[in-house]
Structure 1
Amino acid sequence: MKLSKLYTNKSSLFNPIEFNDGLNVVLAEIHLPENKQKNSHNLGKSSLGTIIDFCLLSKRDPNLFLFKHEDVFKEFVFFLEVELASNSFLTIRRSVELASKISFMKHDLKFQDFSSVDISDWSHAEVPFDKSKTLLDGFLNLQSVAPYDFRKGIGFHLRSQIDYEDLFELRKYRGKHVDWKPYVAQILGFDGELVKNQYLHESSLKEKRKEIARKKAELGDVADGLSRIEGLIQIKQNELEQKQRVLDSFDFASQDQSKITQLVDGLDEEIAYLNQKLYSLELNNKRVQQSLQSTIISFDPEGARKLFDEAGVVFGGQIKKDFEQLIKFNRAISDERQAYLIKEREQIEQESQGLRSELSRLNSERSQNLKFIGSEDIFEKYKVATGDITAIRLDLSILERQRLLINELHTMQSEEKALQEICDFQTASLLSNINTQNSEKGSLFNNIRSYFTDIAQRVLGRNALISVDVNGEEHIYFKEELLNDSGGFTSGNRGHSYKKLLCVAYDLALQKAHLNDKYPHFVFHDGVFESLDDKLKENLLNVFREYTEMGVQSIITLIDSDLPKSKFSDEEIILMLHDADQGGRIFKMNSF
């Protein structure tokens, strides 16, 4: 695939551009002194790549100048003629006003003008946007980028000024690695599907783990209790069957007996036990209260001294001091003991309150059972039995819901394990693929790497290297390095000019490696000579010309101040722009 011709329905405002098979130069001359120091001249040389991208079905972007100034361009219709691998041609028609409707005309002759052909006479007229992409993908038949469509990598063939920041990741693709890394891996000779599937399966694994976390939160403490849940369900089912049999037979004798047994053997014993326990707690509480009151020390050393004086005994100062220390010591012990007693009292009161609540519930249940036994109203007993069945069924429903959730959790955990195994397999397969392509002599990647190094050496006078490996997260990563004379890494590639030249070297290396493939054999570089010294310009121009002789179609833009010493031929210059008047702009109109 190569570009052949670009034109519009308004030839007076946009001159048709016919592309060469080799080097194509868009040159802007700056005549006005006030414009010579400007970085941007609004002549439209950089817009050429955007227009080509628009004709190759880029999405409608409100920030694109065609739509940002739609009042100026709404009547424009663009036509891009491309050469297909079959040596036939395809013209793509796309208007600004109806950008979602695209028409196609296939033909055998080059440099045609279909701007005046009625829309009804086109081979495929006003095809909807999504269908147009599929149709164009079929026409182009770029098998070397399969299974990806032509749009996936078209940006790598249209390098704008902002796309010289990174060889492998264009600014327009920045975002999720799964959106661009698989394609880059594919065109470099690796298995792009392995890269894509690794990301997709890892994403599925992360989502599955989130689902498991949500399910565990929903289950709470019973998440790991399937066996216990099954046992409780069995008990409840047995109770339900027994209650249902009683209800079906309308015979409540066994029900009465059950209530009596429950009352005598169960409730009364439990009530008696709890009453005894509550009595014991109240005794302990009384003991604690008394202990708290007895912690006051009533000994008076001064009174004791007077008593000893009256008895004729000398109460020495040391004895008094010892008594005061003894009192202080006992008071400290008493304070500590009092704290423990207060804590014990609080615990007793808390436990007593719980016992009283439980006794209240049991006494209520005892009262209901006695009422049931004493009732001679069979309908009352039927109602109570029905209520019991409803309660059991509700319990069963809750238990079965918990069982269902636990089984779902176990299924998710099995799926998580399977996904983890798939991810491990994908990672191992990817690593094997990367190692094979890196080590296999004559592999597509090693050829690209060799061409890249050769171009960098010829242009920059230094060796450069591209490498592909896996990072700490076991994901594929791409890296370029500019080497010094000893083969070590140098910081030279951090400069914008060097980075730009490495991007060009990468693009041309890809072109050469895919020269015999069904691949887009054109590449557009905007402002490629800007900020380069004369030697670098000459070296780069020589490489461009050599690669165009191989069959690569190169389109470059520059201003006259960036011209290399070597002259461009008239055939190589496909478009001349200037700032003398509006006729020198790519769109011959006032600046927009």
Structure 2
Amino acid sequence: MKPSKLYSNRPAAFTAVEFEPELNVVLAEIRLPENRDRDTHNLGKTTLGRLIDFGFLAGRDPKFFLFKHLDRFEDFVFFLEIELLDGGYVTVRRSVAEATKIAFKKHVARHQDFSTLPDIEWDHVDVPFERAKDLLDSLLDWRALNPWHYRKGLGYFLRSQADFGDVFQLRKFANSHADWKPFLAHILGFDAELITQHYAKEDELKEKELKVGTIRQELGGEIEDAGKVDGLLLLKRQEVDKKQALLDAFDFRNEDKVETKQLVDQVDERIAALNQRRYSLTQNRKKVITSLEEDQILFNPEDASALFREAGVLFDGQIKRDFQQLIAFNKAITDERRGYLAEERAEIEAELKTVNADLNTLGKKRSEMLAFLSSTDSFSKYKRLSTELITLRADIEGLERQREFVHRLQQLRTDIRTLGEEKTRLQSAIELDVEAKNADDQSLFSRIRLFFNEIVEDVIDQKALLSVVVNQLGHLDFRAELLDDAGIATSADRGFSYKKLLCIAFDLALLRAHLDDAFPRFAFHDGVFESLDDRKKENLLAVIRRYTELGLQSIISLIDSDLPPRDDDDPVFMPAETVVRLHDEGDNGRLFKMKSW
């Protein structure tokens, strides 16, 4: 339930840390004046939390300092001693060089040193990594987390600086909300199974909708009506049966009749109609061409003037101007009319081109039919019918494939409607569950929110509200807010120092509410007093001490400049509480007795 000891096979480079059951302080002393204004000091107070996480079998991250600087740490083997629920202990051995091969040993006494213990005396040796996590999960026996693994919520109890940005969403929860919200809801006392099912239905619904889009794309605008496809299939199959019967009987009399009727009723009638239309179009084109030629104005005023001069008649002056204006007027009308005639001629010629093409096609088809009727070679008719039968069967195969797509599309739409109804039902159930837990003063969530408010109010004399609501999508939204005197949320929680306080308050409230459960009973908080004024530091320390008296282990790290001021006779921490003391006077003051990396 609590870390008990952390040590290595190289004690000269890493001094063993023996944790107390209650308060544990990792104190970094800045003794050199030139270092007091620095933001970071690389002494190792944050690194201790990472090493504890390594002992709890964190995954092998290449960015993790042990693996990033493998040349420095390859020879290290770390041992984490953990107190169990039954009062016994288990020690986890994990080396840096072979980080995926784990060893375990259960024991009764605390603060043991198994760094030189031979493999034969360990209970489990070289356990593969995934199996080792399952084994440690069973040894820790944090049943209150079931059905989730022990590592799922470990980040709430090993808060690094990177995890103070959000009260609920840890840095490791960078994946979708479905990955962590059900777990958080569970440890807060809500029905996580409903939330898990809701996310599953939502994912299934999205998958079905994507499939609908894919199928519609495959159909490519073809018929999506199953009834129409089935009707077309029925007609095509009937036609296949008729032609197959003719082929089987080797008798083409009925086929001859059909071809003859089609020739007379369809092809010849169509050819006659097209010929009539071609004649009409040809006549119209001729008239248009004639009109275009007749529209030319042949009168020339200059020629008329010369002719009048020869005859001794005066033509200049007003008479000549009137003729010119008349010609200009007629020319404007003629130009407009010629434009319309040109457009009509283009339309006639385009239609004539289409008519001639249709007549050519029908003429070819008529010739083929006449050749079929006049043919005395039954094998030629058999060959033609066989070809038509193959085409029909190919059409049927295409329609059957299309029908399969359409039926799948209809089934998907039915599934989508069903999933939508189930998703709505689950959302209603989630809303009822959240409403009931919010209204029940004795619910786990109500206790957590009371403890949360109590901690914040004790530290900064301001109320805080922990709330869970269901949004429009049916997902849970978790909120931690500071309230003003009127009970209205303020923006004070947006500052880093208050955000960190809300995170600490949430973790402690969670641990206290689960004191009677098989649940973790420790919390590591890095830089616990940073940015708080002295009075709030004292208040927070009082809260932490009160919680350790309840049976919770608190591991806090801080720099000496963040200590609340006290008289020399009244130290902030007792000597036994300071389990790690770091300083900046040389390498011996670091967590690892070596140069910083």
TM-score by length of 2: 0.91
Shifted more, 572-581 versus 106-115: the winner is 106-115
Q: Residue 518 of structure 2: SS of its match in structure 1?
A: coil
Q: What residue is the counterpart of 1:215 in the other structure?
A: 215
Q: Residue 596 of structure 2: SS of its match in structure 1?
A: coil
Q: How does 1:278-357 map to 2 (within 5 A)?
A: 278-289=278-289, 330=333, 335=336, 345-357=345-357
Q: What residue is the counterpart of 1:40 in the other structure?
A: 40
Q: What residue is the counterpart of 1:417 in the other structure?
A: 417
**Distance in 2 between residues matched to 1:416 and 1:297, nearest whole Å:** 76
| Cα gap change, 1:327 to 1:136, in 2 (>3 Å) | farther
8 Å Cα contact 2:281-2:348 kept in structure 1: yes
Q: How far off its partner does 1:357 sit?
A: 3.4
8 Å Cα contact 1:5-1:111 kept in structure 2: yes
Q: Which residue identity lines up with residue 375 of structure 2 in the other structure?
A: S
Q: Residue 529 of structure 1: SS of its match in structure 2?
A: coil
8 Å Cα contact 1:186-1:192 kept in structure 2: yes
**Distance in 2 between residues matched to 1:58 and 1:508, nearest whole Å:** 22
CA deviation vs aligned residue, 1:146-200 (integer Å, no higher than 9, x gap): 2211111111111111211110112231241112222222212222232232223
8 Å Cα contact 2:301-2:320 kept in structure 1: no
Q: How does 1:566-585 map to 2 (within 5 A)?
A: 566-585=571-590
Q: What residue is the counterpart of 1:408 in the other structure?
A: 408
Q: What residue is the counterpart of 2:568 in the other structure?
A: none
Q: How far off its partner does 1:497 sit?
A: 0.8
Aligned length: 588
| Cα gap change, 1:324 to 1:524, in 2 (>3 Å) | farther
Q: Which residue identity lines up with residue 209 of structure 1 in the other structure?
A: E
8 Å Cα contact 2:88-2:106 kept in structure 1: yes
8 Å Cα contact 1:4-1:83 kept in structure 2: yes
CA deviation vs aligned residue, 1:551-575 (integer Å, no higher than 9, x gap): 1111100111111235201121111
8 Å Cα contact 1:28-1:559 kept in structure 2: yes
| Cα gap change, 1:573 to 1:341, in 2 (>3 Å) | farther
| Cα gap change, 1:411 to 1:146, in 2 (>3 Å) | same
Q: How does 1:154-193 map to 2 (within 5 A)?
A: 154-193=154-193
Q: What residue is the counterpart of 2:78 in the other structure?
A: 78
**Distance in 2 between residues matched to 1:12 and 1:179, nearest whole Å:** 42
8 Å Cα contact 1:216-1:223 kept in structure 2: no
Q: What residue is the counterpart of 1:143 in the other structure?
A: 143
Q: What residue is the counterpart of 1:362 in the other structure?
A: 362
Shifted more, 347-356 versus 479-488: the winner is 347-356
Q: Residue 251 of structure 1: SS of its match in structure 2?
A: coil
Superposition CA RMSD, Å? 2.9
Q: How far off its partner does 1:270 sit?
A: 2.4
Q: What residue is the counterpart of 1:228 in the other structure?
A: 228
**Distance in 2 between residues matched to 1:114 and 1:217, nearest whole Å:** 65
Q: How far off its partner does 1:330 sit?
A: 4.5
Q: What residue is the counterpart of 1:439 in the other structure?
A: 439
Shifted more, 289-298 versus 57-66: the winner is 289-298
Q: How far off its partner does 1:226 sit?
A: 2.3
- Does the alignment pair 1:587 with 2:592? yes
Q: Residue 178 of structure 1: SS of its match in structure 2?
A: helix
CA deviation vs aligned residue, 1:110-135 (integer Å, no higher than 9, x gap): 22222222234322222222222222
8 Å Cα contact 1:305-1:315 kept in structure 2: no
Q: How far off its partner does 1:317 sit?
A: 13
| Cα gap change, 1:214 to 1:148, in 2 (>3 Å) | same
Shifted more, 495-504 versus 288-297: the winner is 288-297
Q: How far off its partner does 1:261 sit?
A: 2.6
Q: How far off its partner does 1:449 sit?
A: 0.9
Q: How far off its partner does 1:105 sit?
A: 1.7
**Distance in 1 between residues matched to 2:82 and 2:357, nearest whole Å:** 88
CA deviation vs aligned residue, 1:382-431 (integer Å, no higher than 9, x gap): 22221111111111111111111111111111111111112111211111
Q: Residue 111 of structure 1: SS of its match in structure 2?
A: coil
Q: What residue is the counterpart of 2:121 in the other structure?
A: 121
- Does the alignment pair 1:194 with 2:221? no
CA deviation vs aligned residue, 1:242-276 (integer Å, no higher than 9, x gap): 11112112223333333223222332222323333
| Cα gap change, 1:450 to 1:320, in 2 (>3 Å) | farther
Q: What residue is the counterpart of 1:501 in the other structure?
A: 501
Q: How far off its partner does 1:528 sit?
A: 0.9
Q: How far off its partner does 1:293 sit?
A: 6.0
**Distance in 2 between residues matched to 1:483 and 1:175, nearest whole Å:** 31
| Cα gap change, 1:436 to 1:387, in 2 (>3 Å) | same
Q: Residue 103 of structure 1: SS of its match in structure 2?
A: strand
| Cα gap change, 1:460 to 1:338, in 2 (>3 Å) | farther
**Distance in 2 between residues matched to 1:186 and 1:340, nearest whole Å:** 82
Q: Which residue identity lines up with residue 539 of structure 1 in the other structure?
A: N
Q: What residue is the counterpart of 1:476 in the other structure?
A: 476
Q: What residue is the counterpart of 2:386 in the other structure?
A: 386
- Does the alignment pair 1:245 with 2:245? yes
**Distance in 1 between residues matched to 2:480 and 2:320, nearest whole Å:** 94
**Distance in 2 between residues matched to 1:296 and 1:200, nearest whole Å:** 83
What are structure 1's unaligned runs of at least 5 residues? none
Q: Which residue identity lines up with residue 155 of structure 2 in the other structure?
A: G
Q: Which residue identity lines up with residue 131 of structure 1 in the other structure?
A: R
Q: Which residue identity lines up with residue 263 of structure 1 in the other structure?
A: L
**Distance in 1 between residues matched to 2:297 and 2:426, nearest whole Å:** 81
**Distance in 1 between residues matched to 2:123 and 2:294, nearest whole Å:** 110
Q: Residue 480 of structure 2: SS of its match in structure 1?
A: strand
**Distance in 1 between residues matched to 2:55 and 2:351, nearest whole Å:** 82
Q: Which residue identity lines up with residue 53 of structure 1 in the other structure?
A: D
**Distance in 2 between residues matched to 1:101 and 1:2, nearest whole Å:** 23
Shifted more, 392-401 versus 279-288: the winner is 279-288
**Distance in 1 between residues matched to 2:552 and 2:291, nearest whole Å:** 103
**Distance in 2 between residues matched to 1:567 and 1:416, nearest whole Å:** 63
8 Å Cα contact 2:7-2:16 kept in structure 1: yes
| Cα gap change, 1:373 to 1:466, in 2 (>3 Å) | same
**Distance in 2 between residues matched to 1:72 and 1:295, nearest whole Å:** 104
Q: Which residue identity lines up with residue 526 of structure 2 in the other structure?
A: D
Q: Which residue identity lines up with residue 538 of structure 1 in the other structure?
A: E
CA deviation vs aligned residue, 1:56-83 (integer Å, no higher than 9, x gap): 1211111100000011111211111111
Q: Which residue identity lines up with residue 258 of structure 1 in the other structure?
A: V
**Distance in 2 between residues matched to 1:519 and 1:3, nearest whole Å:** 13
Q: What residue is the counterpart of 2:511 in the other structure?
A: 511
| Cα gap change, 1:89 to 1:344, in 2 (>3 Å) | farther
8 Å Cα contact 1:464-1:483 kept in structure 2: yes
**Distance in 2 between residues matched to 1:293 and 1:228, nearest whole Å:** 56
Q: Which residue identity lines up with residue 128 of structure 1 in the other structure?
A: P
**Distance in 2 between residues matched to 1:425 and 1:8, nearest whole Å:** 54
**Distance in 1 between residues matched to 2:340 and 2:518, nearest whole Å:** 89
Q: How far off its partner does 1:327 sit?
A: 5.8
8 Å Cα contact 1:4-1:110 kept in structure 2: yes
**Distance in 2 between residues matched to 1:453 and 1:328, nearest whole Å:** 97
